[in-house]
Structure 1
Amino acid sequence: MNDSDKIRLDKWLWAARFFKTRALAKTAIEGGKVHYEGQRCKVSKSPEVGAKLTIRQGFDEKEVIIKALSEQRRGAPEARLLYEETPESIKKRMDEGERRRILALSQVVPDHRPNKKERRDMRRFEAQQQPADWPDFY
């Protein structure tokens, strides 16, 4: 591989459609959200075919193996050919997504704002929960 064949990691992440812009890819790499072979890396790192990347986006963390190199951003079907997500990563993401979905469903959402009496009751309850040596700021 000569110098003209080498591309930067931020450019590959952009071409593989992990990030909408190269600036976002650069920020993610510098922020430690992208690991190359288990190590933090620099934006100018030259990715190699067969290397393993760990990419954290929001709540999701993807482990992908680089299948091809490209510095041109193309359509999503072509971008998916540049990498392959590991089966463990897919299963972990699905399990975490399901856990988050169940947790969101279990959250109790009140059907109304507390009225004056309910607010008094909440303050009384909170005051009873405080240890006696806490200062009273209310």
Structure 2
Amino acid sequence: MTGVRLDKWLWAARFFKTRTLSARACELNRVSVQDHAAKASRNISPGDVLRVRTDSAEFTVRVLGLSDQRGPASVAQQLYEETEESKAKRAEAAEQRRMMPVFEVLHEGKPSKKDRRRMDNVRERF
């Protein structure tokens, strides 16, 4: 196998849950190959550098292997190698998310008088 469609590879490498989602990400310019926006139908080969933005993170990976079939996660991880810079950025982003305050929503429906006072106090601070 010398090349495989980008959307199939992203699906097989488990960056996206379905091929439709991977094709949609390409359409929205969330995937680039060698720093150029890529269409879903583009063929990729080992050695290509991909930048993939998902809902949870941004990955920069080098393609090591090709597959157009989705398999276990352990096999999917052997298809690519993430750069050290990408790993560091994802770890930093995870740390920032962890440090953000958590707002718990316990009530459904109309807020009580006590809840409204709390919301007003929070709004006055900002």
The answer, yes or no, to whether TM exceeds 0.5 is yes
CA-CA distance at 1:107 after TM superposition: 4.8
* TM-score, normalising length: structure 1: 0.73
- How many aligned positions are there? 116
- Structure 1 alignment gaps of length 5 or more: 127-138
Aligned to 2:97: 100
The structure with the largest alpha-carbon Rg is 1
SS of aligned partner of 1:54 = strand
Q: Deviations over 1:67-92 (max 9, x none)?
A: 01111111110111000111110111
CA-CA distance at 1:114 after TM superposition: 5.9
- Structure 2 alignment gaps of length 5 or more: none
Residue 81 (1) aligns with residue 78 (2): yes
* TM-score, normalising length: structure 2: 0.80
CA-CA distance at 1:55 after TM superposition: 0.6
> Which aligned pairs between 1:115-134 and structure 2 lie closer than 5 A?
115=113, 122=120
Aligned-residue sequence identity (percent) comes to: 41
- Shift of the 111–46 alpha-carbon distance from structure 1 to 2, 3 Å rule, reads closer
- Shift of the 30–111 alpha-carbon distance from structure 1 to 2, 3 Å rule, reads closer
CA-CA distance at 1:6 after TM superposition: 3.0
Residue 35 (1) aligns with residue 32 (2): yes
Misfit runs of 4+, over 2 Å:
106-116
